[in-house]
Amino acid sequence: MSQPDHRSLKRRALVFGPLAFWIFFAIGPCAAQTDRVDVAEELERLMAAHGFTMKPADLEATRASEGRIESDELIPRLRVLLEGFDHIIVQKPGGGVDRVLILGAKVPYTPPPPQAAESGEEKATETEGGAQAEIVLETQRKGTSHAMTLTIEGENGKRVQQVMLLDTGADFVVLPASLIGPLGLRPNNLRRQSVQTANGTVDAQLATLAAVWLGNQRVPGIAAAFIEDARLGGNSLLGMSVLGRFRVTIDDENNQVVLAGK
């Protein structure tokens, strides 16, 4: 078997949970470009060839679906193959793919009605279901995690800036309960629910934020969970209620996160 040309390999990093993993793509035998294949059958073939895993239910969710093949490299190949599904590709710390998660078939995102801009406020771009252009944001390192300062928008245009850790393991944007008042939210309108965290099950108050701002991009209608400040240890999390609308790439070397429309 001929060896892959390592000059063509690109080093990138994706985030999953609190860790960013470097990727080195191994090239194996692949079908001709632009082929259409059965998604589940191609996933099974790729699992056997490259050793990553999938939950049986996730694999079954792709049955009877056709996908495209447009790359010989594993990660781009998976992305194109799964373009009809919201998915997460988890890399191994030493390189290669560890597992693939299927979040569900893609459905159109219907945003809430836009709010009128306040007088004198600079008009911003509103992201509906993921921006078409890439959003590049600077990050700060907190151990192995990446954090950024974002603006959270609550009721009646009230806004708070908050340092947030990227966490694709969190279903919601997670904020300290002390921000409920500054964001103009009424405690009686929040829903109480137990949520699972890395430290166990905790009580949370759920709400829908007017928006989270990614630079000058306004992402509306964001599900958020408010948890007692002491439980969060001073942290806030940027979870899948925002990240799930984008393809997320972390650039460790330049301390940036890139959010691209799906």
Q: Please answer whether residues 243 and 166 qualify as being in contact, where contact means their C-beta atoms are separated by less than 8 angstroms.
A: yes
Question: Which candidate, 122, 133, 111, places its Cα nearest to that of 211?
Answer: 111
Q: What is the pLDDT of residue 121?
A: 44
Tens of pLDDT, residue by residue over 142-201, are 777 788 999 999 999 999 999 998 887 788 899 999 999 999 999 888 998 877 665 567
For residue 253, what are the contacts with CB-CB under 8 A and spacing of at least 6?
none
DSSP string, 175-240: EEGGGTTTTT--GGGSEEEEEEETTEEEEEEEEEEEEEEETTEEEEEEEEEEE-HHHHTT--EE-H
Distance between CA atoms of residues 60 and 204, nearest Å: 33
Select, from the ranges 33-42, 121-130, 221-230, the one with the highest average predicted confidence (pLDDT). 221-230
Considering Cα of 172, then 221, then 146, then 259, what sign does the dihedral take?
Answer: positive
User: Which pTM does this prediction carry?
Assistant: 0.54
Do residues 174 and 199 touch, judged by C-beta distance below 8 A?
A: no
Q: What tens digit of pLDDT does each residue of 99-125 get?
A: 887 766 765 544 444 444 444 444 455
**What type of residue is 107?**
V
pLDDT at 164: 93
Place of tokens 């294949």: 37
Which of 204, 220, 201, 202 lies closest to 212, judged by CA? 220
Q: Describe the crossing of helices 74-81 and 39-50 by its angle, rounded to 10 degrees.
A: 160
